[in-house]
Amino acid sequence: MNAKQAVMTACHHGRGLVEWMTGRHARPVHALVITPAGCIVMVRHTYVPGWHFPGGALQRGETAEAGILRELREEIGLRQ
């Protein structure tokens, strides 16, 4: 892990700790995306090791559907 990845990982975990301490838990959304060829889409982040389903946290007042569509646009370039 390089220095940038270490900082991003620390920020990611620090955010979770602050949310836990303040009672403001992020509402996560994730998607299982399957291509027409039957492949499962996974993403790799710079701040956490491994492969993950695309997704993230809902923004204040955002529905789950709107949130996952936003995350898919951001993470895999989904166009509707």
The CATH number of whichever domain residue 59 belongs to comes to 3.90.79.10
Residues β-bridged to residue 30: 55
Mean predicted confidence (pLDDT) in 21-48: 86
> How far apart are the C-alpha atoms of 53 and 61, rounded to whole Å?
23
| Res 32 pLDDT > 80 | yes
Residue 14 sits at φ, ψ, to 5 deg, of -65, -40
CB of 14 closer than 8 Å to CB of 48: no
> 21: domain range?
3-76
Total of domains in the chain: 1
| pLDDT tens digits, 54-77 | 999 888 889 999 999 999 999 999
pLDDT, position 27? 83
Q: What are the tokens at 54?
A: 């695309």
